[in-house]
Amino acid sequence: MRLLRDPLLWLAAVFIGLLVAMPHSEALFHWLFPQQPRPVYLQETFINLALAHLWLVAISSVAAVAIGVGLGIVVTRPWGREFRTLVETVVAAGQTFPPVAVLAVAVPVMGFGREPALIALTLYGLLPVVQGTLAGLSAVPEGAKEVATGMGMSRWQQLYKVELPLAAPVILAGVRTSVIINIGTATIASTVGASTLGTPIIIGLSGFNTAYVMQGALLVALLAIIVDRGFERVLRLMTRHVR
């Protein structure tokens, strides 16, 4: 019974239900937008668009987390602290450039498709991960490190067994922000030929079809809410465990 009352499961069920029901909702959207002769996007199934969107976000987010956490670890080590300002400046600059500008540069080199979108999303998702890693590792109490040293742990053992577990909630908060940003930003990947939930939005904007825009925007917003609530639940469990 508790599972049936879980709002996250209900949100996921509504999202899946919309993916399945959207192609069959022509009567509803024709009533909402009577001026549109084709009020429902039917060029691709919404299920395939959602899967492609999730794949793009997942791959770019994994890359951003791997690079961002790695950089954060490097610049918090004694031998890498001198590069901290440089790393922070570079990743901040990466989010300063609009993703569209990154796509415009990458497309002539890599062509149309998912590859340039992956580069843009990875660069755009780095800053929150790096900031979260730096904040988390910097907040680890010195006493915990001294105890680990007294137990005979090497520096790498301290990192994996003490620092990273204690910093994990803060790092995950940065990852959460990065993933949510990428869910929204991935919609523009459709401008370079990648299939995402942004495809009906882009086609709707170019064809002045508000119904298409609403369908894509509704699904993207709901997906972002579901993922955000999922991260919130994981963070709550991790914080409780650390305490």
For residue 140, being part of any structural domain is answered with yes
CB 119 within 8 A of CB 54: no
Q: Can you list the alpha helix ranges (DSSP code H) found in the chain? A: 7-21, 26-32, 46-75, 84-96, 99-110, 114-138, 142-150, 155-158, 164-185, 199-206, 210-242
Give the pLDDT score at 2: 55
Give the pLDDT score at 243: 53
Please choose, from the candidates 109, 55, 2, the residue with its C-alpha nearest in 3D space to the C-alpha of residue 10: 2
Give the pLDDT score at 223: 95
Q: Please state the domain count of the chain.
A: 1
For residue 195, being part of any structural domain is answered with yes
For residue 132, being part of any structural domain is answered with yes
For residue 121, being part of any structural domain is answered with yes
Q: How far apart are the first and last CA of the chain?
A: 29
Give the pLDDT score at 4: 56
Residues in contact with 175: Cβ distance below 8 Å, sequence separation at least 6, in sequence order: 61, 65, 128, 129, 132, 231
For residue 67, being part of any structural domain is answered with yes
Burial (CB count <10 Å: 0-12, 13-18, 19+), residue 80: middle
Please choose, from the candidates 186, 214, 183, the residue with its C-alpha nearest in 3D space to the C-alpha of residue 200: 214
For residue 110, being part of any structural domain is answered with yes
For residue 68, being part of any structural domain is answered with yes
Structural domain containing residue 61: 48-242
> Token match 């996921």: residue?
12
Q: What is the pLDDT along the chain (243 residues), one digit of tens a residue?
A: 454 577 888 888 999 999 999 988 888 888 888 888 888 988 889 999 999 999 999 999 999 999 999 999 998 888 888 888 888 888 887 777 777 667 766 777 666 777 888 888 888 889 899 999 999 988 888 887 778 777 877 778 888 888 888 888 899 999 999 999 999 888 988 888 788 999 999 999 888 899 999 999 999 999 999 999 999 988 888 776 555
Identity of the residue numbered 128: P
Other beta carbons within 10 angstroms of residue 193's beta carbon come to 14
| CATH number reported for the structural domain that contains residue 67 in this entry | 1.10.3720.10
> Token match 């002045």: residue?
208
Please choose, from the candidates 94, 95, 64, 88, the residue with its C-alpha nearest in 3D space to the C-alpha of residue 175: 64
What pTM was estimated for this model as a whole? 0.88
For residue 28, being part of any structural domain is answered with no
SS3 191: helix
